[in-house]
Amino acid sequence: MPEQTVRTPPEVDRVAASRAAVEARRARAELKNRVSSGAISALTVLDDAFADPDGVAGRMRATDFLLSVPAIGRTKLTRILEDLKISPAKRLGGLGPNQRTRLHDFIADRESKNRQHKRSRLIVLAGPTAVGKGTVASYIRENYPDVLLSVSATTRKPRPGEVEGVNYFFVDDAEFDRLIENNELLEHATVHNASRYGTPRGPIDEALARGDSVLLEIDIQGARQVRAAMPEATLVFLLPPSWDELVRRLVGRGTEDAEERERRLETARHELAAQDEFDYRVVNGTVADAAQEVVDLIKTRGARPRRAV
Ligand SMILES: Nc1ncnc2c1ncn2[C@@H]1O[C@H](COP(=O)(O)OP(=O)(O)OP(=O)(O)O)[C@@H](O)[C@H]1O
Ligand SMILES: Nc1nc2c(ncn2[C@@H]2O[C@H](COP(=O)(O)O)[C@@H](O)[C@H]2O)c(=O)[nH]1
């Protein structure tokens, strides 16, 4: 029989206490990770800490808490603690009433500013058929990896070279219906009277919560729905250098027969008439320049709307 370790009562207490301390440290570390990844709001942690000073949040040190808040590093930390008149070693649950109020107001103000900032990071790129939306969006995906390109669901069949989960999520009609019923699409539309397309809501919400920029390359019906659902989104209309060039691109792409091209050009006339609904217009002269302009709009949001050509 294996030899058993016999522990005396005080030793049992010590082992249990040490296990509890390890577990509490692990729980605090996990909580810090959840704050820094944006999975939980710092304000929620603070409220928990004040409600239960001996709980996981309450036992967290003010220093560790503040360092887990995105964009607070060691340099800012010292100044913030001084301003809030909180000693670095203090635990959140042990803060006095004035310290609690100051810390709460500081975090609430910061989260409110972050929300305003994040909300503006959703950019919708729309425009008439063959103007080059897909080409510009692909260029951004390849050259600006910090901009997340939303991957739509569609009922159309994959074209040669298209990859599931990269170009689209290819689904059948039943699955598309299920996505709509479960409210999993931010917007959806039947495009060119043919297939259905929709923007999955989950990845967008997650990206915006992380503070990432998201680009949607969708049709004009979809852009209108996004505007209604998220008025803070920035809408960009991609224009061709001229009507003749648009026709050249459509014909040159060679993916539609003459009848379908006529139908799309008819739609394109109506779509061009909708450009005033958009916040910005970008002319797709060269792909690299148009992509740069769109990315600049994502990053600065300050450029003045351009007039159509
Ligand atoms: N700046 C550009 N200069 C010249 N050709 C371009 C430019 N941008 C895109 N093109 C070409 O125009 C054609 C249409 O581009 P693309 O398929 O990206 O258009 P789209 O707006 O996504 O069209 P749709 O809405 O019909 O899917 C393609 O052959 C593409 O290579
Ligand atoms: N409303 C939406 N439109 C979308 C979405 N994804 C793509 N599109 C638009 O569909 C057409 C055709 O695309 P194609 O890849 O089949 O040529 C194009 O205008 C796209 O902008 C979406 O999620 N919602």
For residue 31, give the CATH number of its domain: 1.10.8.50
Domain boundary among the residues 89, 114, 139 is at 114
Which amino acid is it at 93?
G
Residues 104, 137, single domain; the answer is no
Q: Average pLDDT of the chain?
A: 88
- 224 CB burial (10 A radius; 0-12, 13-18, 19+): middle
Q: Whose CA is nearest to atom 15 of ligand 2?
A: 134
Least confident of 80-84, 153-157, 187-191, 263-267: 263-267
Model confidence at 188: pLDDT above 80 = yes
- Is the distance from the beta carbon of residue 253 to the nearest atom of ligand 1 less than 6 Å? yes
Residues 88, 142, single domain; the answer is no
Percent of the chain with pLDDT over 70: 90
Model confidence at 255: pLDDT above 90 = no
171 is in an annotated binding site: no
Residues 109, 141, single domain; the answer is no
Residues 56, 126, single domain; the answer is no
The stretch 242-270 carries a mean pLDDT of 93
pLDDT higher at 158 or 21: 158
pLDDT of residue 305: 41
- Is the distance from the beta carbon of residue 125 to the nearest atom of ligand 2 less than 6 Å? no
ipTM reported for the complex, 2 dp: 0.97
Range of the domain at 61: 17-114
Residue 185's beta-bridge partner residues?
A: 200
131 is in an annotated binding site: yes
Query: Phi and psi at residue 129, in whole multiples of 5°?
Result: -55, 140
In this prediction, residue 297 has a pLDDT band, given cuts at 50, 70 and 90, of confident
Residues 79, 146, single domain; the answer is no
Looking up residue 211, the CATH number of its domain turns out to be: 3.40.50.300
pLDDT higher at 36 or 264: 264
Number of structural domains the chain divides into: 2
For residue 273, what is the DSSP state? T
In this prediction, residue 37 has a pLDDT band, given cuts at 50, 70 and 90, of low
Q: Is residue 107 a contact partner of residue 46, using CB atoms and an 8 Å limit?
A: yes
133 is in an annotated binding site: yes
In this prediction, residue 301 has a pLDDT band, given cuts at 50, 70 and 90, of low
Residues 124, 239, single domain; the answer is yes
Mutate to test the pocket of ligand 1, among 135, 263, 266, 309 (most ligand atoms within 8 A of CB): 135
- H or E, element range at 99: helix 97-119
Least confident of 199-208, 261-270, 277-286, 293-302: 293-302
130 is in an annotated binding site: yes
Model confidence at 2: pLDDT above 60 = no
Identify the nearest ligand to the CA of 250 by its number: 1
Q: Is residue 308 part of a domain?
A: no
Q: Is residue 246 a contact partner of residue 268, using CB atoms and an 8 Å limit?
A: yes
In this prediction, residue 116 has a pLDDT band, given cuts at 50, 70 and 90, of low
- Is the distance from the beta carbon of residue 284 to the nearest atom of ligand 1 less than 6 Å? yes
Mutate to test the pocket of ligand 2, among 169, 197, 278 (most ligand atoms within 8 A of CB): 197
Model confidence at 207: pLDDT above 90 = no
